[in-house]
Amino acid sequence: MISLVWLAGAMLAGAAAVTVGWPALRDYRTRESRDLNAERYLAWRGRAPRGSASSMSEGLTLAERRRLYLAAGLGLLALICLMALFAAS
């Protein structure tokens, strides 16, 4: 009976990790794609900055980073619950 509790905990924590982390990752990828398209357009028009060959990438925002850390913590909790499930059975 206790193993069902650990299984439910692992499933809930895993689902919460995906629910929290996926939107942050999706927003980051969308922004990176949009920035890359803008950079390509400027290069095509001949207005790209010549001094730096680096991209216009800004990286993760603070809110996205916070959400990904929370998702990683929830994923770790899911793994701990899964290990407890195997130890209890």
- How do the pLDDT tens digits run along the chain, 89 residues long? 899 999 999 999 999 999 999 999 999 888 888 777 777 777 777 777 665 555 556 788 999 999 999 999 999 999 999 999 999 98
DSSP string over 22-45:
HHHHHHHHHHHHHHHHHHHHHHHH
Structure tokens at 17: 């990790």
Angle (CA) 58-60-66 rounded to 5° is 155
pLDDT of residue 39: 76
Going 9 to 12 to 15 to 16, the CA torsion angle's sign is negative
For the chain, what's the residue count?
89
The predicted structure's pLDDT at residue 44: 78
pLDDT at residue 50 in the model: 66
